[in-house]
Structure 1
Amino acid sequence: MKIKKIPNLSVDCVIFGYDTNTKSLNVLLIKRYLKATTSDEVLVDDYVLTGYHIYENETLDEAASRVLKELTGLTNLYKKQFKAFGDPNRLMNEKDVLWSKHENFNFRTITIAYYFLLKTEDIDVIHNKHEAKWFPYTDLPSVGFDHKKIIQEAYEDLKTKCLHEPIIFELLPEKFTINEVQEVYESILGVTIDNRNFRRKLINKKYMIPLDEKQIGVSKRPAQLYMFSKNIYDKMVNTNFLINI
């Protein structure tokens, strides 16, 4: 039996990735390109979030996970549903109207927005058929629909969330230094953090497990490596995590 999609209900996914080389928070976008049928005129040439209609036989979470997997091949990533967007005019920009007619979109589509967290190197963008590309959050290209607003609201939610839950470890390798943790916080929050105070507070967290290992392949003095213990954190979950950076 053919799976039916709900024509005016969709999910849109903000995929945040942290680049350890540039120390920047990035957003994964896909190319949106449309030429006129009777000429070589380019009607639409910009980027959008990945998203799609919800199928009648799936939950919202299942739809978001499906969309993520179709774009990245990844599953079981941290995700959060943070808001619904249903402005009657959200698809009525001139370029959006052209695209929606071409794709036979319902102009009164309501979307449920999610964001996901991962490391930029987890995705092979070079061979991605959707022409996916990472952009720094602070330097986004022209973005279609109301997706810039969705990205901005996802970012605001992420800033608040990272102060109360240890979700930034989703953006780090399994083994990391204290400086790398600080750099992720600074990238997300857009602030400079006092190094000594931050280090003192973080290493006192019981879920920060010091390893008998140090960095390798660095020109400077190698730093101590740590791991995050989700099991220990879960046992402490009733206490206030607020990191007070």
Structure 2
Amino acid sequence: MKSELISNLSVDCVVFGYDIITKSLNVLLIKRYLESEDKKDVLVNDYVLTGYHVFEDETLDKAAERVLKELTGLNNLYKKQFKAFGDPDRLTNPKDLIWIESQKFNLRTITIAYYFLLKTEDVEVTDNVSKAKWFPVGDLPELGFDHKQIIKEAYEDLKIKCLAEPIIFELLPDKFTINEVQDAYQSILGIEIDNRNFRRKLINKKYIIPLDEKQVGVSKKPAQLYMFSKDVYDKIFQKNYLISI
């Protein structure tokens, strides 16, 4: 028997991706587009987070994972449920009302927001059916619903979380340089970090493992490569900041 949708409960997913080339933290958004019946007028033309209603027979986590996989083809990514958004007026913008009527959605929908972490290169957006596109977190396009607020709060949570747990490594390649870690922190936190102190503190962490490898394909002197060991981290974990900056 086919499971029914819960008409007033949805999940929305803030998909953060880090681009190691541009040193940019990005958000993956999908196109929302609607024309009038005679095709003469564009009624809605903006971007939104990926999300959908929850089925009666699935947990919230499973709903978020389903939505993410449908968009990216990926699973088993770092995720965090960070807030519920249920303001009575969250879907009452004129464009949102037009969209909701066209899709027969419930006007009083409460959404549970998650964010996911991945590398931008892991998602192929060229031929994505949802016309998904990466946008820098500091330069977002026009957004529908209350998704600007959802992204803002997800980003604030991420900045706090990345100082308390080693989730930064979810955004980086398996093998990385110290400078690449520093660049990622600077991109997320929006601050400059003292290079010498950062390097010293990072390489002294037992879960940052030096490799007998160096960068390849770079014009400058190749840098030492490292890896993050989650096994070592879990064994020595204490409730303090990963790095003081």
TM-score range with shorter-chain normalisation? over 0.9
**Length-normalised TM-score, structure 2:** 0.99
Structure 1 segments of 4 or more deviating over 6 A?
none
Q: CA deviation at 1:242?
A: 3.7
1:225 is aligned to 225
1:134-191 Cα distance to aligned partner (Å, 9 max, x none): 0000100000000000000000000000000000000000000000000000000000
1:99 is aligned to 99
Aligned residues of 2:166 and 2:242 also touching (Cα < 8 A) = no
Greater shift in the superposed pair: 31-40 or 113-122: 31-40
2:136 is aligned to 136
Unaligned runs of 5+ in 2: none
Q: CA deviation at 1:2?
A: 1.4
Structure-to-structure mapping, 1:1-245, within 5 angstroms: 1-245=1-245
CA distance in structure 1 between the aligned counterparts of 2:239 and 2:34, rounded to whole angstroms: 52
CA distance in structure 2 between the aligned counterparts of 1:60 and 1:162, rounded to whole angstroms: 23
CA distance in structure 2 between the aligned counterparts of 1:204 and 1:239, rounded to whole angstroms: 17
Q: CA deviation at 1:238?
A: 2.7
Q: Which amino acid aligns with 2:210?
A: P
CA distance in structure 2 between the aligned counterparts of 1:183 and 1:217, rounded to whole angstroms: 19
Q: CA deviation at 1:239?
A: 4.4
Unaligned runs of 5+ in 1: none
CA distance in structure 2 between the aligned counterparts of 1:39 and 1:31, rounded to whole angstroms: 18
Q: Which amino acid aligns with 1:235?
A: K
The count of residues paired between Structure 1 and Structure 2 equals: 245
CA distance in structure 2 between the aligned counterparts of 1:45 and 1:239, rounded to whole angstroms: 45
CA distance in structure 2 between the aligned counterparts of 1:14 and 1:57, rounded to whole angstroms: 23
**Length-normalised TM-score, structure 1:** 0.99
1:177-236 Cα distance to aligned partner (Å, 9 max, x none): 000000000000000100000000000000000000000110111000000000000011
Q: Once the two structures are aligned, what percentage of the paired residues are identical?
A: 74
Q: What's the secondary structure of 2:164's corresponding residue?
A: coil
